Copies of this chain bind each other. A is one copy, B any other.
């Protein structure tokens, strides 16, 4: 049998994880990875810290360079190479070589789409202005860093109060800019319920960031963002309204995409088309709680899906069971985390729920600086099955979400959770961990027969 070739389209987390894993499984596989941009395998999550100046060197965000992939993994990683069309029947991909301004055609036996996501750009007057930036690729990060360093940026408007929007708001605030976040929802952080989002809005305001909720952007002008309430000065505009799957290339090749615009894959990351795989932000994922196909663009998921695709492409067996939408961030001293379904999402999925919200400490109350955190739990009415959790608090708060994520995966009830033998030490929490207090309160609500619906 002739040597088989795998072409990976997209050289970031999902693509390169797949390439590396396929290499591990099959030493003789010919692997070519095509990356449109200048860098492979980087941490996009680090961009806000690069712009803020907390991370000093761009190269620190690059996990592995094309050179390392070539030398150590025997993977032909090519940057500046854009796949422009894929012919699945013929097993060919048309590539635009931006470095040498030429096109070429590459044959494959297997192809992996790892084309990522792109920032949502609403159809607004002025959205394509030169001072309007999305934050998705490392190239975006470099451009923003250059703009920040060049000076002349005093006022920044962030449109949309999601994770990346708020992280960029903090970054520019740390650089001394006057930052305004404009969020059309009732509170920032739409991944949380509004009662928890309100805690985040408050903490953003406490560090001097102007937060305008319930306000819609109508146009972007050269020095202002126009909202329903008037003009907000903006030397620079950051789009923080989330991302959508970059699935056009696959779709044009005849690969099935779903309701969330992402490529449809099975548990082994196979698309509906033969010899075609997909992983990462360009895919949809199965949500373990709502049991729907959703689009979750996160580095953790991209890495896991890439690994699973790579194992399977290499002839092994691995599955990706699904996502919970677990996510966390830190905004100055405030830690924020969520997993599973919010109250609103549970209702949307047809689930009747009870909720419990508790305020507790991050250390035993008698320790110096006990800290604080608010934990909200969403559980199914009657059964008490855990549906989701949200945490906003000080140091040590966010990582507690992982207990909820694990309990969700195991379909535990909040009653099951009360008995969990979690660790305790006065330096790490009160003797009843906030996670357990919240579960206990949620179980009490279940027992009382409550429902939010």
Contacts and interface: CB of A to CB of B under 8 A. Distances in A.
Interface of A: 13, 43, 45-46, 49, 54-55, 60-61, 288, 298-301, 303-304, 319-330, 335, 337, 339, 364-368, 396, 398-403, 405-407, 409-410, 412, 416, 418-429, 431-433, 435
B299 A330 contact: no
A430 to B, nearest CB: 9
Contacts of A325: 421
A416 B408 CA distance: 13
A428 B399 contact: yes
B403 A403 contact: yes
A318 B422 CA distance: 18
Most B CB contacts (10 A, CB to CB) among A398, A416, A427 go to: A427
Contact of A396 (B323, B399, B423, B435): B399
Nearest to A303: B431
A423 B43 contact: no
Contact of A45 (B299, B364, B365): B364
Contact of A424 (B298, B364, B419, B433): B298
A300 B368 CA distance: 21
A329 B425 contact: yes
Nearest to A298: B424
Contacts of A54: 367-368
Contacts of A405: 420-423
A299 B13 contact: no
A247 to B, nearest CB: 22
A323 B327 CA distance: 29
Contact of A330 (B298, B323, B339, B427): B427
Contact of A416 (B409, B412, B424, B426): B409
A323 B422 CA distance: 9
B421 A324 contact: yes
Contact of A403 (B402, B416, B427): B402
Nearest to A308: B419
Given A410-B406, A431-B43, A423 B328 contact: yes
Contact of A401 (B43, B61, B319, B423): B423
B45 A425 contact: yes
B431 A45 contact: yes
B431 A406 contact: no
Given A399-B396, A405-B421, A412-B410, A426 B49 contact: yes
